[in-house]
Structures are given as structure tokens and as C-alpha cells.
Amino acid sequence: IIVLAATFILEKNPELIQPVQTPTIGPTVQAMMVEGWLSSDITQIEILDSQGSRLKILQIEEGNWVIALPDGDVADAGIVEEIRTQITAARTTSFLDPGYDLNAIGLSIPSNTLTIRSAQGRETVIHIGQLTPTGTGYYVKVDNSAPAVVSKFSIDDILRNLQRDVLVHLETFPTTQP
């Protein structure tokens, strides 16, 4: 009778004999800071800081770049390629609520505004705010998206490379001594 009852119960409730599934832990997927961009798509990069200083670099032909603002000097193509890769590889670590107070995280008046453009006229604007309380990320707002946090190291690398002194390498030659 017990075997018959157990068989009847298991036929009506097959989930009772299913093995317990333990969830597998895998890597978490993080969103890209700029979705849908390849580094090769970027043909113009402009940065504006909170004091109004502007630096703009343009691709004048494949592999050749010029600093359009402030002076028209030739930019180091290797550094520009590194910047393009850094921008397209940066990932968000978290998103904030879309209605988050932008003033509280330094995005109402961003410390830096980075604008990238493609040859076809596509444009994305990245506002960079203040450091997070832990000091491991910056608050950013890309176009009209919700504020997000991006690694401090990613943003610092981009900002460090977007300096005129880094982009223009002046050749120095040894002077002869008399």
C-alpha cells in the first residue's frame, strides 16, 4: 500500500523526484560605457573641462590625426588609437536611478565633458562627474542615459591621454658639445 501511495504521489508531482539545481556562478556582464561604438568609428574627440578649456582632435585621413583646437599640431596616432580603444572598452560598474540628483554626484556641472563623433555625424556626449565615495569610480552620464559609475582607472587613463602634452611628442635631438 505504501509503495502504491508513493507511486501515485510521484506520478501526480514529478517535481519531487527532480534533482536540485544549484545555480552556477559565472562572470557578471557589465554594460559598455558607450554602447554600439567601435574604436574605428571615432573620427573626432573633443574634451571640455569645467574651466572652459577645450581640446579637439580630428582624423584627417586614416591613421593621421590633428589637434584642431587649440593649435593645429599633429597628434600622435598611437596615443589617439589608445584613447579610442579606452573609450570603447570602458564598462560601467553600476547604474543609478534615472532621477538621481545630478548635483550630488558632480554631473550638473561636470568636471569634464567628452564628445565623440563618427565620420557619418553620429555623436555621443559623456559627462564626467566626481569620484564615488569609495574612490574607485567616477559618476558619468552618457547622452540621456541614467547616471552610471565607471572605473576610476578607465576614466583617469582617458583624461591623462587627452592632454596636449601627451598627444604631441616633440622630437629632441642631442646637442653637440664644443
Cα(141)–Cα(129) distance, integer angstroms: 8
Using one digit for the tens of pLDDT, what is the confidence trace for 65-104?
Answer: 988 877 778 889 999 999 999 999 999 999 998 889 999 9
DSSP 34: S
Q: What mean pLDDT is reported for the chain?
A: 84
pTM: 0.76
Using one digit for the tens of pLDDT, what is the confidence trace for 14-53?
Answer: 655 655 555 444 444 568 888 899 999 999 999 999 888 9
Q: Name the nearest CA neighbour of 159 among 111, 119, 125, 120.
A: 111
Cα(75)–Cα(166) distance, integer angstroms: 9
